Amino acid sequence: MATRKEVAARAGVSEATVSRVLNDVGPIKEETRQRVLQAAKHFNYAPNAIAQSFARGKSGNLGVVLPYVPGVHLFSTFYFSEMLSGIGAAAKERGYDLLLKFRSLETDNDYELLFQRQKVDACIILGARNTVEERESLVRLQAAKLPFCLIGQHYEELRCNTLDADHVQGSYLAVKYLLDQGHARIAFLNGSPAYSNSQDRLKGYLKALGERGIAFDERLYVEGNYSRTSGYQAAPYILEQQVDAVFAGNDRMAIGFMQKLRELGRGAGQDMAIVGYDNSDAAQFTEPPLTSVAVPFYEMGSLAAAKLLESIDANDEKEIFQEKLSTHLVIR
Amino acid sequence: MATRKEVAARAGVSEATVSRVLNDVGPIKEETRQRVLQAAKHFNYAPNAIAQSFARGKSGNLGVVLPYVPGVHLFSTFYFSEMLSGIGAAAKERGYDLLLKFRSLETDNDYELLFQRQKVDACIILGARNTVEERESLVRLQAAKLPFCLIGQHYEELRCNTLDADHVQGSYLAVKYLLDQGHARIAFLNGSPAYSNSQDRLKGYLKALGERGIAFDERLYVEGNYSRTSGYQAAPYILEQQVDAVFAGNDRMAIGFMQKLRELGRGAGQDMAIVGYDNSDAAQFTEPPLTSVAVPFYEMGSLAAAKLLESIDANDEKEIFQEKLSTHLVIR
DNA sequence: TTGTAGGCGTTATCAC
DNA sequence: GTGATAACGCCTACAA
């Protein structure tokens, strides 16, 4: 593979001039420029990106941290897929490449390492949880002044770049809708409280109930893990509680719940109203179609990436951003 | 951020020794090793990955090229999601990071550039098409001895690393199933012939028909673009042909077709049999559930990555691999 | 067992 | 306008 040296030799100029031409800096005689360009073309030369990163002290990569669970096909979940699409689009626009980091939840709890090694200029963290180790790791990250942004998770104690959807509002909308339809005993099938968005959903649920003066009945509150199976498994218990509606924290759980319903011979939508969350593709294919809270995952990803990259490109003092995009209910 | 120099100074050794300790090479006195480790810990030192790549001439990145279409949420398609999950898992196992490259179909037709810049040690190309530019670009890639692998696409003229599913077989199974069910006029809703897998599907379709002595009727052959919309739009024409079954090149098109069917008041599965392809999540949620050809996308991704990385890690002469994983029919 | 020193391919700061 | 040249942080013979 040709290097700058060979190009310089062939063009009869110094290596510095080659760089100047290729980086389009400084004044250059048109004739020299042409000679260099031709020589470069002759060798099919392109600057070595790693050497460039090394010299510039910038990698040109935007890191994306994803939770990695062996055997679980992560991208197949609507949430991550959409988000990553958005991040990718925004990064591409700004000339950054995406470096994916799969983090094993048990072993890789050190976000710092990612940056210490300086393979990325900034980083977006997906699927962070509220555990002691993670919080501490994030505090260190911040102390080291490494630019990062959390999507879909926020901590009370930690003020850092954050992009999320307004899940309090989303859940409120969903539950209010069910109440408006005349349902009173509404079960809530939530995900793990280790995620702040689960907690937010609970707040929205409580808020909607509170407005109608309905007290929280803990028997109607069930925790799954956002998987279809957990929705499926929760169904028998929920049915025992004589509810007339179910609000699920995501579509997967809602779909699992509906499957069990059908197996038990109780068609969904007849004597039982169900509302999901995410408005994933699947929501429109179920029978009956699933009413669901639409979350702008793609926009969350692209906005987070845009803001983050913008802030590192303009290298003045970075302001912390904490944005919340709104959700809406898609009634089917 | 601390560098090796500072660590060396604090430990009272040379920089070379620091590297030796950290890379675990050569004989080192235990005491020295401890001093170095402590000094490293003191500064919270981790070697700069880019400098390392630079010195070693290896990036430690596995590139993944993805077609990029503005406005289309790529990862949301089962195909890419699953594949990328598989690639990611295999890369992680071998200590490689994933570098994603979104390729604009119109402008970025030069695969070479990716490698010339040497930001990746090897590359997996998804969504390659059979166009003049792409073929030429791939030929150059190969001539430059850059290790890459195509997934889901192969060319007659070009012998390169390839991993695919056996779509001839898959389509054959699907059509044979429909024939066995007693259907005779089977429409085929295929995707663009720019993808070799579309062509393979056609072969399978023809093979199954041929076995029963049924001649190809071009009125029953329709080309969509693998989107749900294209399935939806193709429906009226297909219905006009008085077919009793439809085989779709992927589930998305099958689902679009079914939607139109329902809108027209003709429930699927009643007077019209439908078989999809991919066995995506969505296939089980439709009403009625969709019979579909299961393709091991995840395994394709992980196997391709494994083989490719293996071949570059063992730096002897690389043998070209061309593998085809088998598919099976999931009857619902 | 450890130190010295050359090299990796750029960028960027000086001179001229 | 252009050419030297010193970084950049690390790896790795080669010497000692």
Tell me the CATH number at A137. 3.40.50.2300
Query: Which amino acid belongs to residue B190?
Result: N
Burial pattern B136-145, b for ≥16 Cβ within 10 A else e, equals: ebbeebbeee
Comparing A40-54, B76-90, B240-254, the range with the smallest average pLDDT is: B76-90
Give per-residue pLDDT as tens, A193-214: 999 999 999 999 999 999 999 9
B289 and B243 together in one domain: yes
d(CA A160, CA A151): 11
Report the C-alpha gap between A106 and A71 in whole angstroms.
15
The answer to whether residues A305 and A289 belong to one domain is no
Q: Does B76 touch chain A (CB under 8 A)?
A: yes
CB-based contact B97 A98, cutoff 8 Å: no
Q: B264: Cβ under 7 Å from strand D?
A: no
Residues B183 and B284 in one domain: yes
Q: Does any domain span residue B184? A: yes
Contacts of B102 in chain A (CB under 8 A): 88-89, 92, 98
Report if residue B268 sits inside a domain. Answer: yes
What angle do helix axes B251-263 and B228-240 make, rounded to 10 degrees?
60
Instruction: Say if B52 falls within a structural domain.
Output: no
Q: Are residues A144 and A263 in the same domain?
A: no
Tell me what pLDDT residue A284 has.
82
CB burial of A15-37 (b: ≥16 within 10 Å; e: otherwise) equals eebbbbbbeeeeeeeeebbebbe
Burial of B168 (0-12, 13-18, 19+ CB in 10 A): buried
* Banded pLDDT at A253 (limits 50, 70, 90): very high
Question: Are residues A203 and A240 both part of a single domain?
Answer: yes
Same domain assignment for residues A161 and A171: no
My answer on whether B285 and B262 are in the same domain is yes
Q: With CA atoms as reference, report the closest residue to B31 among B11, B7, B47.
A: B11
Query: Among candidates A198, A209, A151, A220, which has minimal Cα distance to A175?
Result: A209
Give the integer Cα–Cα distance in Å for A63 and B107: 25
| Model confidence, pTM | 0.90
Output the pLDDT for position B276. Answer: 97
Radius of gyration over alpha carbons of chain A, in Å?
Answer: 26
* Residue A36, domain member (yes or no): yes
Residue A260 in this model has a pLDDT that exceeds 60 = yes
Domain co-membership, B115 together with B85: yes
Within 8 A of A50 by CB-CB distance, chain B residues are 50, 53-54, 59, 118-119
Residue with tokens 């689960």, as numbered in its chain = A198
Cα–Cα distance, B266 to B264 (Å, whole number)? 6
Show residues of chain B in contact with A81, CB under 8 Å: 73, 75-76, 81
Q: Are strands A148-151 and A122-126 parallel, antiparallel or unpaired?
A: parallel
Q: Is residue B56 part of a domain?
A: no
Longest dimension (CA), chain A: 86
Do B65 and B127 reside in the same domain of the chain?
A: yes
Query: Which of the 8 DSSP states describes residue B59?
Result: -
Q: Is the pLDDT of residue A316 over 70?
A: no
Q: Is the pLDDT of residue A318 over 80?
A: no
Asked if B16 CB < 7 A from strand D, the reply is yes
What is the reported pLDDT for A107? 75
Q: How far is CA A269 from CA A186, A244, A262, B33, B286, in A?
A: 14, 10, 11, 68, 16
Which domain, by its residues, includes B214?
167-294
Average pLDDT, chain B: 91
**Residue in B100, B105, B115 to test binding to A, most A beta-carbons within 10 Å:** B100
Total of domains in chain A: 3
Q: Does a structural domain hold residue A213?
A: yes
pLDDT tens figures, A145-165 = 889 999 999 998 889 999 999
Q: Any residues with CB less than 8 A from the CB of A28 and at least 6 apart, and which?
A: A17, A20, A21
B50 contacts on A by Cβ (under 8 Å): 50, 53-54, 59, 118-119
Q: What is the pLDDT of residues B1-39, one digit of tens each?
A: 889 999 999 999 999 999 999 999 989 999 999 999 999
- Judge whether A140 lies within some domain: yes
B148 touches chain A (CB under 8 A): no
pLDDT 10s digits, A5-25:
999 999 999 999 999 999 998
**Structural domain contains residue A330:** no
Please answer yes or no on whether B102 and A92 come within 8 Å at the CB atom: yes
Give the pair of three-digit tokens for residue B278. 């991919």
**Given this model, what pLDDT does residue B118 score?**
76
Q: Do residues B182 and B262 share a domain?
A: yes
Question: Does A66 share its domain with A28?
Answer: no
pLDDT at B317: 65
* Nearest alpha-carbon partner for A176 in A64, A284, A89, A293: A293
Q: How far is CA A250 from CA A126, A166, B58, in A?
A: 17, 14, 42
Task: State whether A87 and A136 are in the same domain.
Answer: yes
β-pair partners for A98: A62, B100
Query: Looking at the predicted structure, is the pLDDT value of residue B313 above 90?
Result: no
A69-126 pLDDT per residue, tens: 776 766 557 888 889 989 999 999 999 999 998 888 777 777 777 677 778 999 999 9
**C13 C1' to A13 CA distance, Å:** 19
How far apart, in whole angstroms, are the C-alpha atoms of residue B257 and residue B213?
Answer: 28
Instruction: Determine contact: B22 vs chain A, CB below 8 A.
Output: no
